[in-house]
């Protein structure tokens, strides 16, 4: 959908290049994210929303990026420690901590001499953060309080998405980052819409199954862009709200840690053990190691920082409340006849 992919991916072949399993996982994540973060913005306000999203995303991301750069990289690089530390590529990689993608570390190459992508999953975080910002802007302008306004936003986003998918000359004139953003935000916005219109949406397993069956049936005919942004978020939300996942005995949500950590773990295992042909064993080892590290990330990094989100929000709100009288006095001063006659 957003990039060419290995032709061995059966979904990529079936959909004639529109979709592959990697992108499918990403758009499912965006749909869930839109559904889950919207009520926090509606209830808690802009400051709490910004603090919550920042603390949820960045502490674990900083930890993984630093560990990749200064633990994984030195362990696998073919350069000396001195050359590794002096290489500018190492410091370009640190941009990932700000969701600005850089894929490579110095001296990490495969047997064919090509550079290894250290953590290919991180590119989506940039667009996740942009989606958070877009939702905040919609809140500021009142689009989350007006269902008609939000419906217009959904319609415009969906229309641009379809034009990009079907009108290739139109898409060729747009920045690639904007094209990618729309390709993901349409699912994020759909998740938000399912929350905002929750009292009017019939959550039905039968409808979800029917919609996904129709979507799958039409993928080979090039109609994926028409149906997938509608049917997939709906099916994901119905699944999440249904009884099937409601009693899963998981005390710690390690999904974000797994997302951040799985690719570096895979790189490490392949580089050290050389298991590219034994995919089943490699998958099991990656799952076990990634889950353990994700649990440590949750307990040692994510949970401790999340405890501060309320106090940070209160501190920022207090500072903003302190500034409001000053802003009103400054505005009144600017409008007074005395200040109007003074040189600026």
> Digits of tens for pLDDT over the chain (344 positions)?
444 445 567 888 898 889 988 899 999 999 999 999 999 898 888 999 999 999 999 999 999 999 999 999 999 999 999 999 999 999 999 999 999 999 999 999 988 889 999 999 999 999 999 999 999 999 999 999 899 999 999 999 999 999 999 998 898 899 999 999 999 999 999 999 999 999 999 989 999 999 999 999 999 999 999 999 999 999 999 988 876 655 554 456 788 999 999 999 999 998 887 765 667 788 889 999 999 999 999 999 999 999 999 999 989 988 887 655 544 554 454 444 443 443 33
End-to-end, the C-alpha distance of the chain in Å comes to 54
Model pLDDT, residue 5: 45
- Enclosing domain of residue 128: 10-246
262: in domain: no
157: in domain: yes
289: in domain: no
120: in domain: yes
Report residue 249 as tokens: 């005995």
297: in domain: no
Say how far apart CA 39 and CA 104 lie, in whole Å.
37
CA atoms within 13 A on the CB side of 243: 0
327: in domain: no
Number of domains in the chain: 1
DSSP string, 115-163: BP-S-GGGHHHHHHHHHHHHHHHHHHTTTTT-HHHHHHHHHHHHHHHHH
Model pLDDT, residue 241: 81
Model pLDDT, residue 22: 87
Say how far apart CA 38 and CA 295 lie, in whole Å.
26
Model pLDDT, residue 277: 60
224: in domain: yes
329: in domain: no
- Name the DSSP letter for residue 325: H
């Amino acid at each position: 959908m957003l990039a060419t992919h290995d032709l061995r991916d059966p979904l990529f072949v079936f959909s004639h290049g529109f979709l592959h399993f990697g992108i499918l996982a990403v758009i499912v994540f965006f749909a869930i994210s839109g559904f889950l973060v919207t009520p926090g913005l509606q209830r808690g306000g802009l400051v709490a929303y910004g603090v919550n999203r920042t603390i949820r995303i960045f502490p674990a991301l900083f930890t993984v990026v630093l560990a990749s750069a200064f633990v994984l990289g030195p362990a696998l690089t073919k350069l000396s420690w001195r050359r590794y530390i002096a290489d500018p590529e190492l410091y370009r990689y640190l941009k990932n901590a700000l969701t600005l993608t850089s894929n490579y570390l110095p001296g990490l190459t495969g047997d064919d001499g090509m550079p290894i992508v250290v953590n290919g999953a991180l590119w989506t975080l940039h667009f996740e953060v942009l989606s958070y910002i877009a939702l905040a802007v919609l809140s500021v302008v009142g689009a989350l309080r007006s269902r008609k306004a939000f419906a217009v936003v959904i319609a415009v986003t969906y229309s641009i998405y379809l034009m990009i998918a079907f009108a290739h000359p139109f898409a060729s004139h747009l920045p690639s980052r904007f094209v990618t953003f729309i390709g993901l935000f349409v699912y994020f916005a759909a998740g938000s819409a399912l929350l905002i219109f929750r009292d009017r949406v019939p959550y039905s397993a039968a409808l979800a199954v029917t919609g996904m069956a129709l979507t799958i049936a039409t993928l080979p005919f090039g109609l994926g862009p028409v149906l997938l942004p509608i049917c997939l978020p709906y099916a994901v939300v119905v699944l999440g709200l249904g009884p099937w996942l409601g009693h899963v005995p998981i005390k710690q949500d390690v999904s974000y840690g797994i997302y951040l950590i799985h690719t570096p773990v895979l790189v490490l295992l392949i580089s050290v053990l050389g298991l590219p042909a034994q995919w089943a064993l490699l998958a099991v080892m990656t799952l076990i190691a990634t889950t353990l590290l994700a649990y440590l990330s949750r307990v040692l990094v994510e949970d401790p920082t999340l405890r501060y989100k309320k106090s940070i929000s209160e501190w920022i709100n207090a500072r903003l409340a302190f500034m409001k009288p000053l802003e009103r006095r400054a505005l009144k001063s600017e409008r007074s006849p005395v200040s109007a006659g003074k040189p600026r």
